[in-house]
Structure 1
Amino acid sequence: MCTDLMGNVVAMTAEWYYRKKNENNLLASIVLGCGDAEMARLYTQWDILWLSTAGAPIASNQHVSYPTGLNTNYFVVSQCAELFIDILNKYNWTSVTVVTDPSSPPFYAVLMSVFLVNLKGQRHITHSVREINAKLGRPFGGFGSILDDIRASSRVVIYFGIGKILREFLVTAASLNMTNGEYVYILTENNLFRPFHWKAGDKDDLIITN
Protein backbone atom coordinates (compact mmCIF):
# COMPACT_ATOMS: atom_id res chain seq x y z
CA MET A 1 0.00 0.00 0.00
CA CYS A 2 1.22 3.51 -0.78
CA THR A 3 1.07 4.71 2.82
CA ASP A 4 3.18 1.74 3.95
CA LEU A 5 5.83 2.32 1.27
CA MET A 6 5.98 6.13 1.36
CA GLY A 7 8.92 6.29 3.75
CA ASN A 8 10.99 3.98 1.55
CA VAL A 9 9.76 4.86 -1.93
CA VAL A 10 12.92 6.75 -2.98
CA ALA A 11 15.24 3.92 -1.93
CA MET A 12 13.07 1.35 -3.71
CA THR A 13 12.94 3.41 -6.90
CA ALA A 14 16.68 4.06 -6.86
CA GLU A 15 17.40 0.36 -6.34
CA TRP A 16 15.21 -0.48 -9.32
CA TYR A 17 16.79 2.20 -11.49
CA TYR A 18 20.40 1.31 -10.76
CA ARG A 19 20.20 -2.43 -10.22
CA LYS A 20 17.09 -3.93 -11.80
CA LYS A 21 16.28 -1.78 -14.83
CA ASN A 22 16.98 -3.76 -18.00
CA GLU A 23 17.02 -0.94 -20.53
CA ASN A 24 19.09 2.23 -20.56
CA ASN A 25 16.69 4.27 -22.69
CA LEU A 26 14.00 4.95 -20.08
CA LEU A 27 12.09 8.00 -21.31
CA ALA A 28 9.29 8.35 -18.78
CA SER A 29 7.88 6.83 -15.61
CA ILE A 30 4.27 6.72 -14.42
CA VAL A 31 3.95 6.76 -10.63
CA LEU A 32 0.98 6.50 -8.26
CA GLY A 33 1.74 9.50 -6.09
CA CYS A 34 3.71 8.03 -3.19
CA GLY A 35 6.21 10.59 -1.91
CA ASP A 36 5.82 12.93 -4.86
CA ALA A 37 8.26 15.59 -3.61
CA GLU A 38 11.07 13.07 -3.17
CA MET A 39 10.25 11.37 -6.45
CA ALA A 40 10.28 14.72 -8.25
CA ARG A 41 13.83 15.42 -7.09
CA LEU A 42 14.95 11.93 -8.08
CA TYR A 43 13.57 12.02 -11.62
CA THR A 44 14.80 15.59 -12.12
CA GLN A 45 18.36 14.41 -11.38
CA TRP A 46 17.91 11.57 -13.87
CA ASP A 47 16.37 13.97 -16.42
CA ILE A 48 13.43 11.61 -16.90
CA LEU A 49 9.81 12.61 -17.39
CA TRP A 50 7.60 11.37 -14.54
CA LEU A 51 3.81 11.38 -14.58
CA SER A 52 2.07 11.32 -11.22
CA THR A 53 -1.47 9.98 -11.31
CA ALA A 54 -2.63 10.41 -7.71
CA GLY A 55 -0.28 12.70 -5.82
CA ALA A 56 -0.55 16.34 -4.84
CA PRO A 57 -0.29 18.81 -7.74
CA ILE A 58 3.06 20.48 -8.39
CA ALA A 59 2.82 24.11 -7.31
CA SER A 60 3.52 26.72 -9.96
CA ASN A 61 6.67 27.85 -8.14
CA GLN A 62 8.01 24.27 -8.10
CA HIS A 63 8.10 23.70 -11.85
CA VAL A 64 11.50 25.37 -12.07
CA SER A 65 12.89 22.97 -9.45
CA TYR A 66 11.13 19.92 -10.91
CA PRO A 67 10.97 20.56 -14.67
CA THR A 68 10.49 16.90 -15.62
CA GLY A 69 7.40 16.40 -13.44
CA LEU A 70 3.82 16.37 -14.64
CA ASN A 71 0.74 15.69 -12.50
CA THR A 72 -2.27 14.30 -14.37
CA ASN A 73 -4.75 13.60 -11.60
CA TYR A 74 -7.85 15.57 -10.72
CA PHE A 75 -8.44 13.88 -7.37
CA VAL A 76 -5.90 14.61 -4.64
CA VAL A 77 -6.07 12.17 -1.72
CA SER A 78 -4.46 14.53 0.80
CA GLN A 79 -6.87 17.35 -0.01
CA CYS A 80 -9.88 15.06 0.32
CA ALA A 81 -8.66 13.85 3.72
CA GLU A 82 -8.16 17.46 4.83
CA LEU A 83 -11.69 18.28 3.66
CA PHE A 84 -13.09 15.62 6.00
CA ILE A 85 -11.16 17.19 8.88
CA ASP A 86 -12.46 20.65 7.94
CA ILE A 87 -16.05 19.38 7.93
CA LEU A 88 -15.67 17.82 11.38
CA ASN A 89 -14.22 21.03 12.79
CA LYS A 90 -16.72 23.32 11.05
CA TYR A 91 -19.65 21.61 12.75
CA ASN A 92 -17.79 20.94 16.02
CA TRP A 93 -18.22 17.19 15.70
CA THR A 94 -15.92 15.59 18.26
CA SER A 95 -16.73 11.92 17.76
CA VAL A 96 -16.68 10.01 14.48
CA THR A 97 -16.91 6.38 13.41
CA VAL A 98 -14.86 5.37 10.37
CA VAL A 99 -16.46 2.52 8.44
CA THR A 100 -14.45 0.72 5.78
CA ASP A 101 -15.02 -2.11 3.34
CA PRO A 102 -11.76 -4.06 2.82
CA SER A 103 -13.15 -5.63 -0.37
CA SER A 104 -13.31 -2.22 -2.10
CA PRO A 105 -10.49 -0.99 -4.39
CA PRO A 106 -7.27 -0.11 -2.51
CA PHE A 107 -7.82 3.58 -3.21
CA TYR A 108 -10.31 3.77 -0.35
CA ALA A 109 -7.86 2.19 2.09
CA VAL A 110 -5.21 4.72 1.07
CA LEU A 111 -7.63 7.62 1.53
CA MET A 112 -8.70 6.28 4.92
CA SER A 113 -5.08 5.89 6.02
CA VAL A 114 -4.24 9.47 5.08
CA PHE A 115 -7.38 10.71 6.84
CA LEU A 116 -6.52 8.82 10.02
CA VAL A 117 -2.98 10.24 10.00
CA ASN A 118 -4.44 13.76 9.76
CA LEU A 119 -6.97 12.93 12.45
CA LYS A 120 -4.19 12.23 14.95
CA GLY A 121 -3.49 15.94 15.00
CA GLN A 122 -7.07 16.66 16.09
CA ARG A 123 -6.87 15.64 19.73
CA HIS A 124 -10.35 16.93 20.48
CA ILE A 125 -11.86 14.40 18.06
CA THR A 126 -12.27 10.79 19.14
CA HIS A 127 -12.75 8.07 16.59
CA SER A 128 -13.20 4.35 16.09
CA VAL A 129 -12.69 2.22 12.98
CA ARG A 130 -15.03 -0.59 11.98
CA GLU A 131 -14.77 -2.97 9.05
CA ILE A 132 -17.77 -4.23 7.12
CA ASN A 133 -17.75 -7.90 6.29
CA ALA A 134 -19.33 -7.55 2.87
CA LYS A 135 -19.45 -11.33 2.36
CA LEU A 136 -22.08 -11.69 5.10
CA GLY A 137 -24.55 -9.47 3.27
CA ARG A 138 -27.87 -7.99 4.32
CA PRO A 139 -29.82 -7.60 6.60
CA PHE A 140 -27.41 -7.79 9.55
CA GLY A 141 -24.28 -9.27 8.08
CA GLY A 142 -21.86 -7.21 10.11
CA PHE A 143 -23.91 -4.06 9.52
CA GLY A 144 -26.18 -4.34 12.53
CA SER A 145 -23.44 -4.65 15.13
CA ILE A 146 -21.54 -1.72 13.60
CA LEU A 147 -24.66 0.44 13.61
CA ASP A 148 -25.36 -0.52 17.23
CA ASP A 149 -21.86 0.71 18.15
CA ILE A 150 -22.42 3.92 16.20
CA ARG A 151 -25.70 4.56 17.97
CA ALA A 152 -23.97 4.18 21.32
CA SER A 153 -20.94 6.35 20.61
CA SER A 154 -21.26 8.70 17.65
CA ARG A 155 -23.62 10.49 15.31
CA VAL A 156 -21.11 10.97 12.51
CA VAL A 157 -19.99 8.24 10.11
CA ILE A 158 -17.32 8.52 7.41
CA TYR A 159 -17.51 5.67 4.93
CA PHE A 160 -14.64 4.44 2.74
CA GLY A 161 -15.80 1.93 0.15
CA ILE A 162 -17.84 1.25 -2.96
CA GLY A 163 -21.43 2.35 -3.52
CA LYS A 164 -22.96 -1.12 -3.54
CA ILE A 165 -21.85 -1.85 0.03
CA LEU A 166 -22.83 1.65 1.13
CA ARG A 167 -26.33 0.96 -0.18
CA GLU A 168 -26.69 -2.18 1.91
CA PHE A 169 -25.28 -0.37 4.93
CA LEU A 170 -27.76 2.50 4.63
CA VAL A 171 -30.70 0.17 4.02
CA THR A 172 -29.86 -1.56 7.28
CA ALA A 173 -29.44 1.83 8.98
CA ALA A 174 -32.91 2.83 7.76
CA SER A 175 -34.41 -0.34 9.24
CA LEU A 176 -32.95 0.72 12.58
CA ASN A 177 -34.35 4.26 12.23
CA MET A 178 -30.85 5.68 11.82
CA THR A 179 -31.52 7.73 8.67
CA ASN A 180 -33.96 10.07 10.39
CA GLY A 181 -31.70 13.14 10.41
CA GLU A 182 -29.98 12.43 13.71
CA TYR A 183 -26.98 10.81 12.00
CA VAL A 184 -24.58 12.13 9.38
CA TYR A 185 -23.04 9.87 6.73
CA ILE A 186 -20.04 11.24 4.81
CA LEU A 187 -18.52 9.44 1.84
CA THR A 188 -16.33 9.83 -1.22
CA GLU A 189 -17.97 9.20 -4.57
CA ASN A 190 -15.08 8.08 -6.74
CA ASN A 191 -15.53 6.81 -10.28
CA LEU A 192 -11.84 6.42 -11.09
CA PHE A 193 -11.74 2.65 -10.60
CA ARG A 194 -15.36 1.64 -11.11
CA PRO A 195 -18.73 3.41 -11.31
CA PHE A 196 -20.02 4.42 -7.89
CA HIS A 197 -23.38 2.63 -8.14
CA TRP A 198 -25.83 2.64 -5.26
CA LYS A 199 -29.14 2.62 -7.13
CA ALA A 200 -30.84 -0.70 -7.86
CA GLY A 201 -34.17 0.56 -9.24
CA ASP A 202 -36.25 -0.85 -6.39
CA LYS A 203 -38.09 0.44 -3.32
CA ASP A 204 -34.89 0.62 -1.28
CA ASP A 205 -33.66 3.47 -3.49
CA LEU A 206 -36.33 5.69 -1.95
CA ILE A 207 -35.41 4.59 1.55
CA ILE A 208 -31.82 5.69 1.02
CA THR A 209 -32.58 9.04 -0.60
CA ASN A 210 -35.03 9.94 2.16
Structure 2
Amino acid sequence: MTDQTGTIGSNGWQQLIAAREVYTRSAGVHYDEVLDHVAQRAQSEGSLGKADIGALLLWKRLRADTRWASALMTTADADVRRATAAAMTAVLDASVSRSEAARAGRAALTGLPGFTRGDALASTVLTAAAPGRMAVYDSRAHTALRSLGIPLTHASGRYSRYIAALDHLLTHAPTPADAWTPRDLDIALYCLPPNSAGMDSA
Protein backbone atom coordinates (compact mmCIF):
# COMPACT_ATOMS: atom_id res chain seq x y z
CA MET A 1 0.00 0.00 0.00
CA THR A 2 1.12 3.59 -0.55
CA ASP A 3 0.72 6.55 1.73
CA GLN A 4 -0.70 9.93 0.74
CA THR A 5 2.58 10.98 -0.90
CA GLY A 6 2.66 7.95 -3.19
CA THR A 7 5.60 6.33 -1.39
CA ILE A 8 5.52 2.74 -0.21
CA GLY A 9 5.66 1.53 3.36
CA SER A 10 8.51 -0.14 5.21
CA ASN A 11 7.16 -3.62 4.50
CA GLY A 12 7.12 -2.81 0.79
CA TRP A 13 10.74 -1.71 0.92
CA GLN A 14 11.72 -4.82 2.87
CA GLN A 15 10.21 -6.95 0.11
CA LEU A 16 11.97 -4.95 -2.61
CA ILE A 17 15.33 -5.19 -0.83
CA ALA A 18 14.85 -8.95 -0.39
CA ALA A 19 13.88 -9.28 -4.07
CA ARG A 20 17.03 -7.42 -5.14
CA GLU A 21 19.12 -9.81 -3.04
CA VAL A 22 17.38 -12.79 -4.66
CA TYR A 23 18.44 -11.50 -8.08
CA THR A 24 22.05 -11.13 -6.94
CA ARG A 25 22.08 -14.69 -5.65
CA SER A 26 20.23 -16.32 -8.55
CA ALA A 27 21.66 -14.40 -11.52
CA GLY A 28 25.21 -14.51 -10.25
CA VAL A 29 27.96 -12.07 -11.11
CA HIS A 30 28.04 -12.83 -14.84
CA TYR A 31 24.44 -12.45 -16.02
CA ASP A 32 24.61 -8.69 -16.59
CA GLU A 33 27.99 -8.80 -18.36
CA VAL A 34 26.36 -8.29 -21.76
CA LEU A 35 24.51 -5.17 -20.59
CA ASP A 36 27.67 -3.88 -18.91
CA HIS A 37 29.81 -4.46 -22.03
CA VAL A 38 27.28 -2.75 -24.30
CA ALA A 39 27.07 0.17 -21.86
CA GLN A 40 30.87 0.51 -21.85
CA ARG A 41 30.98 0.52 -25.67
CA ALA A 42 28.16 3.06 -25.79
CA GLN A 43 30.06 5.37 -23.46
CA SER A 44 33.22 5.17 -25.57
CA GLU A 45 31.47 5.44 -28.97
CA GLY A 46 28.57 7.75 -28.10
CA SER A 47 25.98 5.50 -29.74
CA LEU A 48 24.78 1.91 -30.10
CA GLY A 49 24.81 -0.04 -33.34
CA LYS A 50 22.91 -3.05 -34.61
CA ALA A 51 25.43 -5.44 -33.06
CA ASP A 52 24.87 -3.82 -29.67
CA ILE A 53 21.09 -4.05 -30.04
CA GLY A 54 21.48 -7.70 -31.04
CA ALA A 55 23.46 -8.36 -27.87
CA LEU A 56 20.79 -6.62 -25.79
CA LEU A 57 18.10 -8.76 -27.43
CA LEU A 58 19.93 -11.85 -26.20
CA TRP A 59 20.39 -10.37 -22.73
CA LYS A 60 16.73 -9.35 -22.48
CA ARG A 61 15.66 -12.70 -24.03
CA LEU A 62 13.46 -11.02 -26.63
CA ARG A 63 12.43 -12.75 -29.85
CA ALA A 64 14.45 -11.83 -32.93
CA ASP A 65 12.41 -13.85 -35.48
CA THR A 66 10.05 -10.95 -36.06
CA ARG A 67 9.24 -8.53 -38.86
CA TRP A 68 10.71 -5.59 -36.99
CA ALA A 69 14.00 -7.42 -36.40
CA SER A 70 14.29 -8.06 -40.13
CA ALA A 71 13.49 -4.40 -40.83
CA LEU A 72 16.11 -3.28 -38.31
CA MET A 73 18.71 -5.48 -40.00
CA THR A 74 18.01 -3.81 -43.35
CA THR A 75 18.45 -0.35 -41.77
CA ALA A 76 21.91 1.14 -42.23
CA ASP A 77 23.98 0.94 -39.07
CA ALA A 78 24.80 4.63 -39.52
CA ASP A 79 21.08 5.45 -39.27
CA VAL A 80 20.74 3.28 -36.17
CA ARG A 81 23.72 5.03 -34.62
CA ARG A 82 22.30 8.47 -35.43
CA ALA A 83 19.08 7.62 -33.58
CA THR A 84 20.83 6.00 -30.63
CA ALA A 85 23.33 8.86 -30.37
CA ALA A 86 20.42 11.33 -30.11
CA ALA A 87 18.76 9.09 -27.52
CA MET A 88 22.00 8.84 -25.58
CA THR A 89 22.49 12.60 -25.55
CA ALA A 90 18.93 12.97 -24.25
CA VAL A 91 19.15 10.45 -21.41
CA LEU A 92 22.53 11.77 -20.26
CA ASP A 93 21.26 15.35 -20.07
CA ALA A 94 21.61 16.10 -16.36
CA SER A 95 20.01 19.54 -16.78
CA VAL A 96 16.56 17.94 -16.92
CA SER A 97 14.78 15.45 -14.67
CA ARG A 98 15.27 11.76 -15.29
CA SER A 99 11.67 11.45 -16.49
CA GLU A 100 12.11 14.30 -19.00
CA ALA A 101 15.37 12.74 -20.18
CA ALA A 102 13.57 9.41 -20.54
CA ARG A 103 10.80 11.05 -22.59
CA ALA A 104 13.29 12.66 -24.98
CA GLY A 105 15.42 9.52 -25.25
CA ARG A 106 12.40 7.34 -25.96
CA ALA A 107 11.20 9.79 -28.63
CA ALA A 108 14.62 9.71 -30.35
CA LEU A 109 14.30 5.94 -30.88
CA THR A 110 10.74 5.94 -32.23
CA GLY A 111 11.75 6.01 -35.89
CA LEU A 112 13.75 2.77 -35.69
CA PRO A 113 12.10 -0.59 -36.51
CA GLY A 114 11.21 -2.34 -33.26
CA PHE A 115 10.99 0.90 -31.31
CA THR A 116 7.68 2.35 -32.48
CA ARG A 117 5.59 0.56 -29.82
CA GLY A 118 6.35 -1.02 -26.49
CA ASP A 119 9.11 -0.07 -24.08
CA ALA A 120 10.97 -3.31 -23.32
CA LEU A 121 13.66 -3.03 -26.01
CA ALA A 122 13.76 0.78 -26.01
CA SER A 123 14.24 0.90 -22.24
CA THR A 124 17.06 -1.64 -22.49
CA VAL A 125 18.86 0.50 -25.07
CA LEU A 126 18.32 3.64 -22.98
CA THR A 127 19.60 1.86 -19.87
CA ALA A 128 22.74 0.79 -21.73
CA ALA A 129 23.12 4.40 -22.87
CA ALA A 130 22.78 5.79 -19.33
CA PRO A 131 23.05 2.95 -16.80
CA GLY A 132 23.13 5.30 -13.82
CA ARG A 133 19.98 7.20 -14.84
CA MET A 134 17.62 4.90 -16.73
CA ALA A 135 15.94 1.57 -15.94
CA VAL A 136 14.62 -1.41 -17.87
CA TYR A 137 10.84 -1.56 -18.26
CA ASP A 138 8.92 -4.82 -18.60
CA SER A 139 5.50 -6.18 -17.73
CA ARG A 140 6.74 -7.77 -14.50
CA ALA A 141 8.04 -4.44 -13.19
CA HIS A 142 4.76 -2.84 -14.27
CA THR A 143 2.77 -5.46 -12.36
CA ALA A 144 5.02 -5.09 -9.30
CA LEU A 145 4.43 -1.34 -9.20
CA ARG A 146 0.69 -1.97 -9.28
CA SER A 147 1.00 -4.50 -6.43
CA LEU A 148 2.74 -1.75 -4.43
CA GLY A 149 -0.21 0.56 -5.05
CA ILE A 150 1.52 2.68 -7.69
CA PRO A 151 -0.59 2.96 -10.86
CA LEU A 152 1.06 3.12 -14.28
CA THR A 153 -1.14 3.35 -17.35
CA HIS A 154 -0.28 2.08 -20.82
CA ALA A 155 -1.02 5.46 -22.41
CA SER A 156 1.55 7.26 -24.55
CA GLY A 157 4.59 8.36 -22.56
CA ARG A 158 4.56 5.31 -20.29
CA TYR A 159 8.36 5.00 -20.09
CA SER A 160 8.74 8.58 -18.86
CA ARG A 161 6.05 7.99 -16.22
CA TYR A 162 7.74 4.72 -15.23
CA ILE A 163 11.04 6.52 -14.64
CA ALA A 164 9.21 9.26 -12.71
CA ALA A 165 7.63 6.61 -10.46
CA LEU A 166 11.00 4.95 -9.80
CA ASP A 167 12.60 8.33 -9.16
CA HIS A 168 9.89 9.20 -6.64
CA LEU A 169 10.30 5.89 -4.85
CA LEU A 170 14.09 6.27 -4.68
CA THR A 171 13.70 9.75 -3.16
CA HIS A 172 12.08 8.09 -0.13
CA ALA A 173 14.14 4.88 -0.05
CA PRO A 174 15.53 3.57 3.26
CA THR A 175 19.00 2.06 3.76
CA PRO A 176 20.40 0.21 1.79
CA ALA A 177 18.04 1.13 -1.06
CA ASP A 178 18.88 4.81 -0.63
CA ALA A 179 22.06 4.06 -2.62
CA TRP A 180 20.19 2.33 -5.45
CA THR A 181 20.04 3.50 -9.02
CA PRO A 182 16.81 3.21 -11.02
CA ARG A 183 18.31 0.02 -12.51
CA ASP A 184 18.64 -1.51 -9.03
CA LEU A 185 14.99 -0.72 -8.39
CA ASP A 186 13.83 -2.20 -11.71
CA ILE A 187 15.66 -5.42 -10.80
CA ALA A 188 13.89 -5.52 -7.43
CA LEU A 189 10.52 -4.90 -9.10
CA TYR A 190 11.21 -7.64 -11.67
CA CYS A 191 12.03 -10.12 -8.90
CA LEU A 192 9.21 -9.11 -6.54
CA PRO A 193 6.98 -12.15 -6.03
CA PRO A 194 3.54 -11.79 -7.67
CA ASN A 195 0.67 -10.71 -5.47
CA SER A 196 2.91 -8.95 -2.96
CA ALA A 197 -0.04 -6.91 -1.74
CA GLY A 198 -0.95 -5.99 1.80
CA MET A 199 2.05 -3.79 2.38
CA ASP A 200 1.82 -1.29 5.19
CA SER A 201 2.01 2.45 4.74
CA ALA A 202 4.97 4.55 5.76
TM over 0.5: no
- Shorter-chain TM range is under 0.3
TM-score of the pair, normalised by structure 1: 0.26
TM-score (norm 2): 0.27
Larger Rg: 1
Please state which structure has a larger fraction of its residues in helix: 2
